[in-house]
Amino acid sequence: MATTELKHEIIEIVDKLPNEVLSDLLVYLRQIEKSNTANIQITSNFRKILTEDRELLRKLAQ
């Protein structure tokens, strides 16, 4: 997906969020902005692992 398409989708979602969530979202985005590329990639990979292997992780935890 192109960058402009991603930004457009993000804006559409943000426009639908309740006002109470916007300040938390801003804090989160600022944290990402301050992170270096390596940390962002690690976080992205970790999220992907958790999402894809949720059932396996649940079985391992039992």
Q: What is the pLDDT of residues 27-53, one digit of tens each?
A: 988 888 888 888 888 888 888 887 887
Structure pTM? 0.56
CB burial of 4-31 (b: ≥16 within 10 Å; e: otherwise) equals eeeeeeeeeeeeeeeeeeeeeeeeeeee
Q: For the chain, what is the mean pLDDT?
A: 87
